Structure 1
Amino acid sequence: MRRVRYEHSGGPEVLFLEDVPVPEPGPGELLVRAEAIGVTLPVVRKVRETRDPIPLGGEIAGEVVACGEGVTAYAPGDRVTGLVFGHGYADYALLHEAMASPVPDAASAVDAVALVRSGLVAYGALHAARPAPGEAALVTGAAGGVGQLAVQLARLKGGAARVVAAVSDRRKADFVRGLGADEVVTYEDASWGDPVDYVLDAVGGALLKPAVGALAPSGRLVAFSSGGGTIEAYDLLVGAKSVVAFQMALVARGRPDTYEQWRKEVWELFLTGHLKPFVHGEFGLADASKAHAVIEERANLGKVVLVP
């Protein structure tokens, strides 16, 4: 089978395709023929920043072709999606049963990759913001895989009366307005408009300061990016503002019932036509470097997906 790998850190150019044997599923594992693979900013960052190469994991969706010992919930022929911690940029990937969830018949593998993990992160971040109907929300990284869903969910589940989308380039304005954003700002704008009640921050880093500055008194910022960054305590103190971190993995491990309920609600919103994930482009495995370049250049409008 084909697999994408890299041997040293760098940009998209370090990725290469290799031929390797199809892996055998171990205890509790599913061997999945990958039909769609999500490309995420954290993985792109790891390729550039991690000194020792790591497997390119992440979100996959496809058909189960074999099951390891002890698997009880799935069988060959089932369609699943889930998070792979080993090699995921490949024709076949090993997915642990505990990380898998079924894909409805009405959805494609690309739909599943664009919706489930990104939708759960967006849903969880919104939940952490404790939104009240009629409040104003701001979403950074609003045109990305998670941000595009967070913009929609702020209205659908948060009841936001006003949604502000923060993007890297003004050329993304029409896209995020199409998602339901009332206002669009860029990261370089001197002002992000009237204050908001909460910020869902998918970017971090240097954007944390203006994100805190965009909050109204007693406003809340939810940090859920892999971008790091520092917030001055005084900037919070003067407006009685607060920051809370959200991590999906902690919910999946520590609150499985909540995780499952959120997953069902995200699928229901999709299947009823209320929540619509958009895909920037579908790339073959041989073009994984092009997919990474789209994200590095902040050019994506929606989810970037590999389709073997």
Structure 2
Amino acid sequence: MLRIRHEVNGGPEVLFAEDVPVPGPGPGEVLVRSEAVGVTLPTVRKVREGSTATPFGGEVAGRIAATGEGAAGFAVGDRVTGLCFADAYAEFAVLGAAMTSRIPDGASAVEAVALVRSGLVARGAYEAARVEPGESVLVTAAASAVGTLALQFARAGGASRVVAAVSSAGKAAFVRGLGADEVVLYEDADWGAPYDVVLDGVGGDLLGPGVRALATGGRLVAFGSGGGTVDAYELLVRGASVTGFQMRAIATGKPELYERWRRELWELWEAGTLRTAVHEEIPLAEAARAHAVIERRGNLGKVVLVP
């Protein structure tokens, strides 16, 4: 089968394709013939900044080709989506059954990859912020796969003002179409502050401006992989707080909540409350091009590899 790997340290140019045997599922695992693979910013950063060459993890959607012992509730032929923690960029991927769910009739594999993982992160960050109806919400990385769904959660939750922060003015019409009342650029002076809630998917140098954009008693939830430093004085003068959110902590520590959120995502999608946004479907063999799109912040929604 075709699999994409990478050398140590570098950009998209260090990705390469190789032909390897199809893996087999272990206990509690399923083997999926991939139809869609999601590309995420953390994975792109891992290639650029990582000190060792590691497998590409990520979201995978397709049909089950084989099941391992103890993979209860799944059978060969089932259409599923889930997380692969090793070698997701491949024609076949091994998923843990506990992190796998069925794709409902009427949804494609590409839609599943665009909705589930990104939607879970957006939902979790929104819940962690304890957003109340009538509050104002700013979403950074608003044109990303997670950001587009976070905007929609804020809109559906009754926020009085939903603002999208993006890297370029060319993304304004796109995020407005997903529920943003206003659009600000990262380079703007004050981001139209203050806000009751900031959902930050970027981190790094943008974490500071995000904190400074908070209103008195405001809450920032950091869910991206960019790190960053928080000035405690800025929190003190605002009586504000910063919370870190990681989806894996919910998946492993609160599996019942994780499953409920997955089920509700599909219900919201079927009701038309949530819409997926796919920037482009790119052949698996051209994974380097997919990484380049994200590195230059060019994507509007999810970038998906198609084996």
TM-score (norm 2): 0.99
Task: Show structure 2 runs of 5+ residues with no match.
Answer: none
- Tell me how far apart the structure 2 counterparts of residues 299 and 287 of structure 1 sit (CA, whole Å): 16
Q: How does 1:82-161 map to 2 (within 5 A)?
A: 82-156=82-156, 158-161=157-160
* 1:298 and 2:297 correspond: yes
Q: Where does residue 68 of structure 2 map in the other structure?
A: 68
- Tell me how far apart the structure 1 counterparts of residues 160 and 37 of structure 2 sit (CA, whole Å): 34
Q: Secondary structure at the match of 1:73?
A: coil
Q: Where does residue 16 of structure 1 map in the other structure?
A: 16
Whether the 8 Å contact between 1:135 and 1:197 is mirrored in structure 2 is yes
Task: Show structure 1 runs of 5+ residues with no match.
Answer: none
- Tell me how far apart the structure 2 counterparts of residues 130 and 180 of structure 1 sit (CA, whole Å): 19
The alpha carbon displacement at 1:167 in A equals: 0.3
* 1:243 and 2:235 correspond: no
**1:127 corresponds to which letter in structure 2?**
E
Whether the 8 Å contact between 1:220 and 1:241 is mirrored in structure 2 is yes
- Tell me how far apart the structure 2 counterparts of residues 118 and 70 of structure 1 sit (CA, whole Å): 27
- Tell me how far apart the structure 2 counterparts of residues 13 and 284 of structure 1 sit (CA, whole Å): 16
The alpha carbon displacement at 1:118 in A equals: 0.2
Whether the 8 Å contact between 1:199 and 1:222 is mirrored in structure 2 is yes
TM-score (norm 1): 0.98
Whether the 8 Å contact between 1:284 and 1:307 is mirrored in structure 2 is yes
Q: Where does residue 198 of structure 1 map in the other structure?
A: 197
Q: How does 1:206-225 map to 2 (within 5 A)?
A: 206-225=205-224
Whether the 8 Å contact between 1:17 and 1:285 is mirrored in structure 2 is no
**1:87 corresponds to which letter in structure 2?**
D
- Tell me how far apart the structure 1 counterparts of residues 212 and 193 of structure 2 sit (CA, whole Å): 10
**2:82 corresponds to which letter in structure 1?**
G
* 1:53 and 2:88 correspond: no
Q: Where does residue 306 of structure 2 map in the other structure?
A: 307
Identity of matched residues, %: 65
- Tell me how far apart the structure 1 counterparts of residues 259 and 179 of structure 2 sit (CA, whole Å): 27
Q: Secondary structure at the match of 1:151?
A: helix
Q: Secondary structure at the match of 1:179?
A: coil
Q: Secondary structure at the match of 1:146?
A: helix
Aligned residues: 307
